[in-house]
Structure 1
Amino acid sequence: MRKVLGTLTAVVLAILLVSYALWTSKRHVGHYLTDLRIQVVINDGQPGGRGNLLGIQPELFPSDYSSVKRLHRKLAAYLEQARERGLINDKTIVVLPEHIGTWLFAVDEKAQFYQASTIEEAMNWLSFSNPLLFFDALLHARGESRLDDAHLRMKARSMAQDYQNVFGGLAKEFGVTLVAGSIVLPGPEVRDGQLQPGKGALYNSSVVFGHDGLPIGQPQRQLFPSWYQRSYIRSGKDAPLNVIDTPAGRLATLIGSDSWYPENYRRLNDSGAELIAVPAFVAGNGSWSQPWRSDKHQTLATHLQAGPEPLTEGQAWQRLTLAPISNAKAGISVFMRGQFWDQGSAGHSFASRSGQSIAEHSISATPKGARPGHGARLINLWL
Structure 2
Amino acid sequence: MRKIGFGFLVVILIWVIWANFSFKSELPPVSAEISTVSQISCDTCENGDSLNLNRNIVGIQPYMLETDYLGESQFLAKMDAYFKAAHENGFLRVNTIVLLPEYLGTWLVIADEKESVANAGNLTWAMAQLVLNHPFEFFKFYRKSKHESDRITAGLFRMNAEQMAQIYQNTFSSLASTYKVYISAGSILLPGPSVENGKIAVELMEPIYNTSFIFDLQGKILNQEIKKAFPIDSEHPFVKASPVVQIPKFELPFANIGVLVCADSWYPESYQAIQGVEAVLVNSYCAIDGAMDVVWGGYNGAPPPSDVDLNDIGNITEKQAWEKYALPGRIGSSGAKIGANVFLRGELWELGTDGQPFFIKEGKLLEIEKAEKGGIWNMDY
Aligned partner of 2:365 in structure 1 is 357
Aligned partner of 1:314 in structure 2 is 319
Assess if the C-alpha contact under 8 Å between 2:20 and 2:133 holds in 1.
no
Assess if the C-alpha contact under 8 Å between 2:19 and 2:132 holds in 1.
no
Aligned partner of 2:91 in structure 1 is 87
Aligned partner of 2:372 in structure 1 is 374
Residue identity opposite 1:159 in structure 2: M
Aligned partner of 2:107 in structure 1 is 103
Q: Give the secondary structure class of the aligned counterpart of 1:299.
A: coil
Q: Give the secondary structure class of the aligned counterpart of 1:108.
A: coil
Aligned partner of 2:182 in structure 1 is 177
Aligned partner of 1:367 in structure 2 is none
Gaps of 5+ in 2: 42-48
Q: Kindly provide the CA deviation profile for residues 147-193 of structure 1, in whole angstroms up to 9, marking residues without a partner as x.
A: 22122222001001111011121111110000010001011001110
Gaps of 5+ in 1: 363-372
Kindly tell me the number of residue pairs found equivalent between the two proteins. 368
Give the Å deviation of 1:219. 0.8
Aligned partner of 1:77 in structure 2 is 81
For structure 1, which segment, 118-127 or 324-333, has the greater mean C-alpha deviation from structure 2 after superposition? Answer: 324-333
Q: Kindly provide the CA deviation profile for residues 273-304 of structure 1, in whole angstroms up to 9, marking residues without a partner as x.
A: 11111000101001111111125331135752
Aligned equivalents of 2:324, 2:56: Cα separation in 1: 23
Query: Which of the residues 196, 204, 210 maps onto 2:201?
Result: 196
Residue identity opposite 1:361 in structure 2: E
1:116 paired to 2:126: no
Aligned equivalents of 1:338, 1:135: Cα separation in 2: 31
For structure 1, which segment, 171-180 or 123-132, has the greater mean C-alpha deviation from structure 2 after superposition? Answer: 123-132
Query: Which of the residues 213, 226, 248 maps onto 1:207?
Result: 213
Assess if the C-alpha contact under 8 Å between 2:280 and 2:340 holds in 1.
yes
Residue identity opposite 1:132 in structure 2: F
Aligned equivalents of 1:8, 1:249: Cα separation in 2: 69
Q: CA RMSD, aligned part only?
A: 2.4
Give the Å deviation of 1:247. 2.8
Aligned partner of 1:368 in structure 2 is none
Aligned partner of 2:226 in structure 1 is 220
1:65 paired to 2:69: yes
Residue identity opposite 2:142 in structure 1: L
Q: 1:46 to 1:85 in 2, by over 3 A?
A: farther
TM-score (norm 2): 0.89
Residue identity opposite 1:242 in structure 2: P
Aligned partner of 1:296 in structure 2 is 300
Q: 1:49 to 1:154 in 2, by over 3 A?
A: same
Q: 1:10 to 1:36 in 2, by over 3 A?
A: closer
Give the Å deviation of 1:38. 3.9
Aligned partner of 2:44 in structure 1 is none
Residue identity opposite 1:146 in structure 2: R
TM-score (norm 1): 0.89
For structure 1, which segment, 175-184 or 70-79, has the greater mean C-alpha deviation from structure 2 after superposition? Answer: 70-79
Give the Å deviation of 1:9. 7.1
Assess if the C-alpha contact under 8 Å between 2:32 and 2:82 holds in 1.
no
Residue identity opposite 1:162 in structure 2: I
Assess if the C-alpha contact under 8 Å between 1:250 and 1:273 holds in 2.
yes
Aligned equivalents of 1:11, 1:321: Cα separation in 2: 57
For structure 1, which segment, 44-53 or 210-219, has the greater mean C-alpha deviation from structure 2 after superposition? Answer: 44-53
Give the Å deviation of 1:29. 3.0
Give the Å deviation of 1:137. 1.9
How high is the sequence identity, in percent, across the aligned residues?
A: 29
